[in-house]
Structure 1
Amino acid sequence: MARPVALVTGAGRRNGIAYAIASDLAADGWDVAFTYWRAYEHRMSLGGDPEADPASLTRELEAAGARALAIEADLADPETPDRIVRAVRDELGPVRALVLAHSESVDSGILDTSVDAFDRHLAVNARAAWLLIRSLAEHVRADGARIVALTSDHVVGNLAYGVSKGALDRVVLAAAGELAARGITANSVNPGPVDTGWMDDATRAALVARQPTGRLGTPHDVARLVRFLVSPDAAWVTGQLITTDGGFSI
């Protein structure tokens, strides 16, 4: 029996959420294509090895029995999303699960966000998501597909990121309503604070102090929910924004 195909965006760092999702999906029996963008990883310096980690992920996926396809892609380019979906379809087969885990995230607030930064956040986090979803819907098979997007409610001091994630949430809601007749479900997942390389010691301590469970989330904590949402058991779940933060939002 052929393995279904998942496309996971933003899996360029070993310590990132997308890397864990891709790895866990391969263990669940999926073939996995993933995107990464080394220029962003180098610009942000969030850990990992942007030069080696995509190749390491490919090896991990193949060791789990999956066919793997790594695609380096700048999602700020509006021509890129359709090229990605077509490349995955041609190499692995039609995409059955689209996990939108990429992001542009540069801290800045009301007074110091530049127009260029604001536009780039919207282009990467919202417009690329819409274009990927549109391309998926245009090529979807009769048995449908799953869409899961990672979102966030962080906006204070992170204006452009927060605004773009709010727009992403609306794109996902539109997809859930408009594409249901094609057998497509669409949901958003808010992971809360997960240490993927962006926390310093003071931030980590402050967040743990607010966490009822006494620890921060891990990438694999988030991956567990994504695994459910792309599974057959989640066929009746769509149009939802699900928080998986160990009670942080309480």
Structure 2
Amino acid sequence: MAGRVAIVTGVSRRAGIGFAVAGELLAAGASVLVHSWSPHDAEQPWGADPAGAAGIVDLLGGEGPRLRHLAADFADPRAPGLVVAAAVAAFGAVDVVVANHARSSGQSLAEVTAAELDLCWAVNARASVLLAQAFAAAHDDARSGGRIILFTSGQHLAPMSREIPYAVSKGAIHQMTLTLSDALADRGITVNTINPGPVDTGWADPDLTARVGRALPAGRWGRPADVARLVRWLASGDSQWITGQVIDAEGGFRRWVM
């Protein structure tokens, strides 16, 4: 990854997938712009990382020649373009976008509101499309190996009736993958989506942790590092023949066991 430039969104907690992905790409030699929006985490049961955004960046090595940070709220339609522009301004180009960010929502059908549906759509689905659009506009096709890596959460494999706004918006990412890949294939830019399955990022209660653990052949949840290694491969030249795919990297998750 030496000489490559990546954007990783959703890097706001050291226990999160985004933090692991950013660290993996930096270790592989890439220059990385990390995006965060800590106010979302502060609203959730798990809370914001006590280190704060600056502390997270410091844990990755601190801002410098190969690492920059930008906080941005993807509820604002201008934010995806600003993130891509910041990467180009910092590093002169952009080769990879890892759209790891997500807005979580715990509303059931009885509880769901139009406002939450709109907000989850804006942050999870709309921002992913606008990141792809901004990346495509900024990408220099003379730099081979353009990569867009999106994230969904297995809504195509099992229902999530307690998280309807989240599930619907993440399901849209599954459906956009093939269309975006077709839009960019002739430019040598690949688009793939990862469904990482159950990953221990500190959000689950002990009961859920135990139940899901029994449904995983390895006897443990996925770790952010498991996902980060897959992202690194998809971001590299080794994945050039793979596009338009939703990859279920779930460690053999057996939902029927739960």
Shorter-normalised TM-score: what interval?
over 0.9
**TM-score, normalization: structure 2?**
0.91
Please provide the CA RMSD for this pair: 1.9
The answer on whether the counterparts of 2:154 and 2:248 sit within 8 Å (CA) in structure 1 is no
Give, in whole Å, the separation in 1 of the partners of 2:85 and 2:43: 28
Aligned position for 2:150: 149
The answer on whether the counterparts of 1:207 and 1:216 sit within 8 Å (CA) in structure 2 is yes
The answer on whether the counterparts of 1:144 and 1:182 sit within 8 Å (CA) in structure 2 is no
User: Counterpart of 2:95 in 1: which secondary structure?
Assistant: strand
Aligned position for 1:180: 185
Indicate whether 1:87 and 2:86 are aligned. yes
The answer on whether the counterparts of 1:15 and 1:47 sit within 8 Å (CA) in structure 2 is no
Aligned position for 2:49: 49
Alpha-carbon displacement from aligned partner over 1:70-115 (angstroms, at most 9, x marks no partner): 1100001001111111111011121111001000011112111111
User: Counterpart of 1:179 in 2: which secondary structure?
Assistant: helix
The answer on whether the counterparts of 2:2 and 2:28 sit within 8 Å (CA) in structure 1 is no
Give, in whole Å, the separation in 1 of the partners of 2:62 and 2:125: 33
The answer on whether the counterparts of 1:32 and 1:61 sit within 8 Å (CA) in structure 2 is no
The answer on whether the counterparts of 2:150 and 2:193 sit within 8 Å (CA) in structure 1 is yes
Aligned position for 2:164: 159
- Seen in structure 2, the aligned counterparts of structure 1 residues 65 and 85 have a Cα distance that, compared at 3 Å, is closer
State the shift of 1:177 in Å: 0.7
Aligned position for 2:99: 100
Aligned position for 1:205: 210
- Which structure 2 residue ranges, 5 or more long, are not aligned? none
- Which structure 1 residue ranges, 5 or more long, are not aligned? none
**TM-score, normalization: structure 1?**
0.94
Give, in whole Å, the separation in 2 of the partners of 1:40 and 1:223: 22
Aligned position for 2:224: 219
- Seen in structure 2, the aligned counterparts of structure 1 residues 153 and 176 have a Cα distance that, compared at 3 Å, is same
User: Counterpart of 1:148 in 2: which secondary structure?
Assistant: strand
Kindly provide the amino acid, as one letter, of the partner of residue 223 in structure 1: A
Give, in whole Å, the separation in 1 of the partners of 2:166 and 2:246: 17
User: Counterpart of 1:25 in 2: which secondary structure?
Assistant: helix
Structure 1 residue corresponding to 2:200, chosen from 188, 195, 200: 195
Give, in whole Å, the separation in 2 of the partners of 1:108 and 1:54: 28
Kindly provide the amino acid, as one letter, of the partner of residue 240 in structure 2: A
State the shift of 1:209 in Å: 1.1
Indicate whether 1:122 and 2:127 are aligned. no
Give, in whole Å, the separation in 1 of the partners of 2:54 and 2:210: 33
User: Counterpart of 2:192 in 1: which secondary structure?
Assistant: strand
> What is the aligned length?
249
Of all paired residues, the percent bearing the same amino acid is 41
